[in-house]
Structure 1
């Protein structure tokens, strides 16, 4: 649920995205849901995709009746389905002004256990999905006079932690941001990354640890100078900044939102 502090901040920027059209992958839960809710609250028209129809139904039920959201269930690791979604969103909205590659994740375990399929699937879900989303959205962003691409990477992209296939895919996203910012800049398209630290999301890993093994959770908080994990709404605020005109001079950047976190996991790295 959006907290009271978020309401104050949103009202301060009311209408910041009025009339803007934005695609968010992985937009039904956790960070993606926070991004969708924030953008809608500030006037955007949002297209969100996720793998499950049920989670998208839940997203729609959580929104105000006046919110304009276009949803479709799909696996972002399937390029054709992702590209069709982008085309459909652009057709429904009459164009696009921004995209957020929020979907991501990992398959497999350690290096001696992970299969070639695990590595390929992790790559497709992170780097491959980001590449196809950017490629399919760029003509629409250029036609709109320029736009913003934001990818949700991770501090695991440069801070070592398990599993290697996940860190490698996230590191690839960061390299792509630097490269694509140079390539697409002449077309008016900005490309940036946000790299969250460990986020405290209800029902997810760190929240379960807090409830089931509080001593281990307290030990993990020592990786944060302030002894607090990151909240998804804090990351969503930075993503919104990078989508907005307030960041028009920012491209090719990676912005960590990690509260100064050291190791990305409590697993001894």
Structure 2
């Protein structure tokens, strides 16, 4: 079978920022990049989660970490600048942090909408804006945002899907805007990921019948894993994807509806 993921050492010398990088998909991305020789700067909400990541990896100066809230533009920009100062430059960015708050359209408050937007579209915009001059100084680079199939497959809640759809539009626009500087911009859109201890894993253990009904949304009856999504993110960051920009690449095992509630 033809190899589609970077070989060991392919990212040697590369300097990459990952937001939301302490656990789940973000933690897997950090592991994958470090294993392939990159120097990685990761941020997350708490220092405890970042300390746990460092202990689990057993790494040293090749990992730079900083706790922060990505919805704070000043802190986010300062983190990117600090990472570039520590690593003497920047070659890639992964916007992995995200989330949602609030319920249905009649339940969600204006604050819920604003926070969800800030977590997804706003964070991606500020991360890209702060990283762009640094990537240009390095001769170009790759930006990857973790969006979602909810960005075009409708399901609850609307504020989450709308913010993810905004990310996908931004990718198309930014790929054209930043292309002349040698900067590629792409999106990876995971389906429902089976992450230990998270929503779908809890459903599998606590409500197995409901979980089995949900798997009918997947042709192969299996949810996608963080490792599978991280493989694709690594590909888009690598030189193997040097001809790829402005793309939204779903990694969802062919998932239909994005939630058990359907469309």
The TM-score with structure 1 as length reference comes to 0.95
Q: Which residue does the alignment assign to 2:237?
A: 243
**Contact 2:117–2:163 (CA<8 Å) still a contact in 1?**
yes
1:87 is aligned, of 54, 75, 81, to 81
Q: Where do 1:81-120 residues align within 5 Å?
A: 81-120=75-114
Q: Which residue does the alignment assign to 1:138?
A: 132
Question: CA 1:9 to 1:174, structure 2 compared with 1: closer, same or farther past 3 Å?
Answer: closer
SS of aligned partner of 2:186: strand
**Contact 2:220–2:253 (CA<8 Å) still a contact in 1?**
yes
Deviation of residue 9 (structure 1)? 8.9
Q: Which residue does the alignment assign to 2:38?
A: 44
SS of aligned partner of 1:151: strand
User: 2-side partners of 1:188 and 1:9: how far apart?
Assistant: 22
SS of aligned partner of 1:234: helix
SS of aligned partner of 1:182: helix
Gaps of 5+ in 1: 1-7
**Contact 1:40–1:67 (CA<8 Å) still a contact in 2?**
no
User: 2-side partners of 1:95 and 1:112: how far apart?
Assistant: 46
1:65 is aligned, of 59, 81, 93, to 59
Q: Which residue does the alignment assign to 1:159?
A: 153
Q: CA RMSD in A?
A: 1.3
User: 2-side partners of 1:33 and 1:9: how far apart?
Assistant: 21
Deviation of residue 64 (structure 1)? 2.7
Q: Deviations over 1:59-115 (max 9, x none)?
A: 001113357100000000000000000000000000000000000000100000100
User: 2-side partners of 1:9 and 1:261: how far apart?
Assistant: 22
User: 2-side partners of 1:258 and 1:68: how far apart?
Assistant: 31
Question: CA 1:211 to 1:124, structure 2 compared with 1: closer, same or farther past 3 Å?
Answer: same
SS of aligned partner of 2:136: helix
Q: Which residue does the alignment assign to 1:214?
A: 208
Bigger drift between 221-230 and 55-64 goes to 55-64
Gaps of 5+ in 2: none
User: 1-side partners of 2:262 and 2:226: how far apart?
Assistant: 25
**Contact 1:200–1:207 (CA<8 Å) still a contact in 2?**
yes
After the TM superposition, which segments of 4 or more aligned residues of structure 1 sit over 4 Å from their partners?
none
Report how many residues are paired.
261
Q: Deviations over 1:156-178 (max 9, x none)?
A: 00001110000000000000000
Bigger drift between 100-109 and 59-68 goes to 59-68
SS of aligned partner of 1:106: coil
Q: Deviations over 1:118-155 (max 9, x none)?
A: 00000000000000000000011111111000000000
